[in-house]
Amino acid sequence: MPEGALKIRRNYTAGAALSAAASGWDARASAPADAGSPGMRRNTSEATLCELRRREQSAMSKTDAPLQGSRAAVVEAVACRMLDHILGTDAALAAMRIALASNAATPAEGGGVSPAAAAPAVAAAVGGAGSSSSSLAEDEARLAKLGVPTTISSSVQGYILTIVRHLELPNSCIVAALIYVQRAVSGTRFSLSITNWQPCLLAAFVIAAKLSFDEPVWNEDFVRALRISNVQVCQISRWEADFLQLLQFNTNVTVAQYAACCFALQRSHEALHGQPCRFFTYLMALGSGADSAS
């Protein structure tokens, strides 16, 4: 620990929620087949995700406008899909609309704007979907009924952006992390909630980052990126191990799965804004043939 740094306190609460979900998993039942067995799975995700990252970096070296300018759209759509799993579709869209209103109400420099005054901007942002101060109040009431803070969408988006910006992760890594989360909740042993989405999402990013880069990615990097003061590196490692159990160690991400996820993100963006975002089509095209190239 660096001199002068605060003592890191370990918080088991969120980790326990994630660990308990995997407690009934039988490692022997999902053990890989012997080498040469017809049932043996070959993990191709590392080469595929590395190729996707290389293609994205190559495109950025030519022009960073389409990639950097649309990062917010990817994060927003991923947050919407995460909230869909946590709250359900209607409540997720309500939370996203509240976040849009909050962003529209934030002035460039100082001052303050009420959500009611920001409603016209939100209505324009969602393609004239009828947003108003009354509908925003209904959205807030919907979340309050579920016992969910109105800032949940901003929290999810901010969490993702912090990880992505500090570790300079590509868009393909964000998509892969979502694929892992959706794979973890596809069974009956685990579901996302207000209390466990952070360790789940962090573990998904840890795995996706490690498979996207040629050089090592250490869990310490995530601690520094998030400036976590109550979680030790060993706890993140435990979350990663528990999450891998939820995935049954299946970290494969094919180009077809990547494209399908990008398409789903495009639909989420369209549901929120009332119009498609071409950037997701660009991501799908960028991944075309990445598995064979790798």
Interval 115-127: pLDDT, tens: 444 444 444 444 4
- At 267, the pLDDT band (50, 70, 90 cuts) reads very high
pTM: 0.76
pLDDT of residue 115: 42
Task: Report percent pLDDT > 70 for the chain.
Answer: 69
Arithmetic mean of pLDDT, 109-114: 41
Does residue 88 have a pLDDT over 90? Answer: yes
Alpha-carbon gap, residue 219 to 207, rounded angstroms: 10
Inter-residue contact 200 to 180 (CB < 8 Å): no
Cα angle, residue 16 at apex, residues 154 and 76 outer, rounded to 5°: 20
pLDDT of residue 247: 94
211-246 tens-digit pLDDT: 998 778 888 888 887 776 567 888 899 999 999 999
Cα angle, residue 154 at apex, residues 121 and 165 outer, rounded to 5°: 110
Q: Could you state, in order of their start, the residue ranges of all structural domains in the chain?
A: 43-83+156-293, 89-152
Write the single-letter amino acid at 294.
S
Dihedral sign for Cα atoms in the order 124, 163, 46, 30: negative
The continuous run of DSSP H or E covering 202 comes out as helix 197-212
Alpha-carbon gap, residue 131 to 123, rounded angstroms: 5
pLDDT of residue 45: 54
For the chain, what is the mean pLDDT? 77
Does residue 180 have a pLDDT over 80? Answer: yes
Does residue 83 have a pLDDT over 90? Answer: yes
Task: Report percent pLDDT > 90 for the chain.
Answer: 44
Task: Please tell me the least confidently modeled range out of 45-49, 149-153, 214-218, 247-251.
Answer: 45-49
Arithmetic mean of pLDDT, 50-69: 73
Residue predicted with more confidence, 250 or 29: 250
- At 112, the pLDDT band (50, 70, 90 cuts) reads very low
Tokens of 179: 């694929």
- At 66, the pLDDT band (50, 70, 90 cuts) reads low
Arithmetic mean of pLDDT, 158-183: 93
One-letter-per-residue 3-state SS of 213-276? CCCCCCHHHHHHHHCCCCCCHHHHHHHHHHHHHHCCCCCCCCHHHHHHHHHHHHHHHHHHHCCC
Phi, psi of 13, deg, nearest 5: -60, -55
pLDDT of residue 205: 95
| Domain 43-83+156-293 coded CATH 3.30.1360.70 | no
Inter-residue contact 203 to 274 (CB < 8 Å): no
Does residue 18 have a pLDDT over 70? Answer: no
Does residue 84 have a pLDDT over 90? Answer: yes
